[in-house]
Amino acid sequence: MKKILVLCTGNSARSQMAEGYLQHFSGDRAQVYSAGVAPHCVNPLAIQVMAEDGIDISHHTSNHADEYVQIPFDYVITVCDNAREQCPYFPTAGEMIHHSFPDPGHTASAGTPERDRPGEDKLTSFRRVRDLIKTYSQEFIKSRLGEPVPQ
């Protein structure tokens, strides 16, 4: 069984959604964890948009990356640039992977970075990022573990 850790800054949205999808698509072929470099609680909008797609992450907790440094992970995936830069050293990690997703908690206004969308409300932003993470998770599981478990 493969062990996968997903890291982001707060362990409140992106890494939580990725954990949910990676676990869903891998079935019993992987154990998936998520953590943050500066964790805070799981965002209720992340829970809501995942539930809309049939994935329950309401039981997830927000954890610090340091809690997992002794686990022999096959993959450590950073899903934001900040986590990549601040990622603790995982001596037992088989492969470090980086794939940055936009922060769904940042809605756009004039002059904000391109990753945000002007006029997009937070719920729409969370749904858009959820869909990006879902696609990435399906492709990740397919390329690393074979075909995803059917939905």
Domain residue limits, the chain: 2-145
> Is residue 114 very low, low, confident or very high in pLDDT (cuts 50, 70, 90)?
very low
Question: What was the pLDDT predicted at 110?
Answer: 38
- Single-letter amino acid, residue 130: R
Domain covering 2-145 in this structure, CATH number: 3.40.50.2300
pLDDT at 112 over 50: no
Between these two residues, 94 and 57, which has the higher pLDDT value? Answer: 57
pLDDT digits 0-9 by tens, 65-97? 889 888 899 999 999 876 666 666 666 668 989
What is the pTM for the complete model shown?
0.86
Question: What was the pLDDT predicted at 111?
Answer: 42
Just list the catalytic residues: 8, 80, 87
pLDDT at 113 over 70: no
| Integer angstrom CA distances of residue 102 from 15, 39, 76, 78, 117 | 12, 17, 19, 12, 10
